[in-house]
């Protein structure tokens, strides 16, 4: 295996030069060990890099592995079979799945290989066409057998990883290649506690009450579900419930400026029902993201961080809901109130945030305007096809 432990620039250069060779070698090994022949994964130019500063986190949680995963963490076979194979949403998904995929890279917070691999997994799961599954398996092999996270930060890891875990579930990696699935599971376990720029996925989830934490929490939840680790999942759910506003569940976050908090003595990730400040409703506001536009003022200074924070939160909620936690209902429907707050101040989602509205409409039975070809986001996408109907 390769360990890209040099500087980020050197590590990225090595990835571009060496990983294509590793793909060929790993494919040869796969054929020998499993009898499967995997179609080549077409690699395009490595994804771009964006810089951002991060804070220190609080603490970590370590647990032992528990049972095997249950298929269907995002969609199960029955749900997939009911989805259409025509219309603009399907056409957009299928067109994307047919395109080359950038090199999987857990260190690049802007790499869209994750959602492109997810598109291939979804098309395979609906059509059964093995070539899509083969491309997904090849991408997962790169993740499992290398250190693509090296040189990055937990923001990138949190954004990137969850889509790969869901893709593994959709193609039933364990049934296709048990050896690779074991390697992938070991990699996921290690990624929970691997230190990247002084943080781990767990400590980011438990210390950062902003988009860093929500993305980390979504990937952490996906790992726990895939590994069948009920202890890890229970801890993740408690942290998420604390972020939504239940400080009795968890309150160990480190906050910045408190001027957007309804109660600065008891800060939360989403302001509680009925919260007011200076005669204005801040019910549903995400204080840690709103402060990125500046201290409290009215009208607020626009920032895109509120929708960015919700990207991780909505994926986390759906994963937890399907795992048996009523996450969409927690704290007086905190996530719906967060969306309502943003619409009320005129900040409807645009660009790679539009996919979230399909998930909100699905979860709550509301009818916000949607885009049938909504762009995928940092960690998820294709919800105009997967979640076009209200939840039962």
More confident residue, 39 or 23: 23
Q: Which residues contact 366 (CB under 8 A, 6 or more apart)?
A: 336, 360
Nearest to 253 by CA among 282, 223, 281, 216: 216
**H or E, element range at 127:** helix 113-127
Burial class (CB within 10 angstroms; exposed 0-12, middle 13-18, buried 19+) of 259: middle
pTM: 0.86
pLDDT in tens, 333-364: 999 999 999 999 999 999 999 999 999 999 99
Cα 124 to chain center, whole Å? 20
Q: What is the DSSP string of 320-342?
A: HHHTT--TTTHHHHHHHHHHHHH
pLDDT in tens, 172-203: 999 999 999 999 999 999 999 999 999 999 99
Give the strand pairing for 43-44 and 276-277: unpaired
Burial class (CB within 10 angstroms; exposed 0-12, middle 13-18, buried 19+) of 329: middle
User: What are the residue ranges spanned by the domains of the chain?
Assistant: 8-47+61-386
CA 365, 357, 232 angle in degrees (round to 5)?
A: 85
DSSP type of residue 196: B
More confident residue, 211 or 13: 211
Class of the domain covering 8-47+61-386: mainly alpha
pLDDT in tens, 128-167: 999 999 999 999 999 999 999 999 999 999 999 999 999 9
């Amino acid at each position: 295996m390769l360990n890209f432990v040099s500087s980020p620039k050197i590590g990225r250069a090595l990835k571009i030069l060496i990983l294509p060779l590793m793909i060929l070698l790993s494919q040869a090994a796969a054929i020998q060990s499993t009898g499967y022949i995997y179609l080549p994964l077409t690699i395009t130019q490595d994804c771009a890099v964006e810089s951002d500063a991060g804070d220190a986190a609080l603490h970590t949680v370590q647990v032992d592995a528990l049972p095997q995963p249950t298929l269907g963490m995002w969609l199960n076979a029955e749900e997939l079979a009911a989805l259409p194979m025509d219309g603009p949403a399907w056409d957009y998904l299928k067109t994307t799945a047919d395109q080359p995929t950038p090199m999987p890279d857990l260190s690049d917070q802007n790499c869209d290989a994750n959602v492109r691999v997810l598109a291939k997994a979804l098309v395979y799961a609906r059509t059964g066409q093995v070539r899509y599954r083969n491309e997904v398996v090849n991408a997962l092999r790169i993740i499992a057998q290398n250190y693509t996270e090296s040189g990055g930060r937990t923001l990138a890891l949190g954004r990137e990883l969850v889509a790969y875990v869901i893709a593994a579930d959709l193609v039933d990696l364990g049934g296709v290649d048990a050896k690779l699935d074991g390697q992938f599971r070991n990699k996921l376990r290690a990624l929970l506690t691997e230190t990247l720029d002084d943080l781990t996925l767990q400590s980011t989830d438990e210390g950062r009450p902003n988009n860093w934490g929500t993305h980390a929490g979504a990937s952490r939840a996906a790992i726990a579900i895939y590994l069948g680790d009920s202890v890890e999942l229970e801890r993740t759910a408690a942290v998420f419930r604390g972020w939504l506003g239940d400080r009795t569940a968890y309150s160990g976050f480190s906050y910045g400026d408190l001027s957007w908090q309804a109660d600065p003595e008891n800060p939360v990730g989403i302001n509680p029902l009925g919260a007011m400040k200076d005669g204005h409703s801040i019910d549903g506001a995400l204080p840690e993201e709103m402060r990125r536009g500046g201290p409290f003022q009215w009208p607020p200074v626009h920032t895109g961080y509120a929708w960015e924070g919700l990207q991780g939160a909505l994926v986390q909620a759906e994963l937890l809901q399907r795992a048996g936690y009523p996450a969409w209902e927690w704290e007086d429907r905190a996530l719906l109130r967060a969306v309502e707050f943003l619409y009320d101040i005129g900040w409807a989602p645009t660009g790679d945030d539009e996919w979230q509205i399909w998930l909100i409409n699905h979860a709550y039975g509301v009818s916000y305007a949607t885009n049938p070809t909504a762009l995928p986001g940092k960690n998820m996408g294709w919800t105009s096809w997967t979640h076009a109907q209200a939840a039962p």
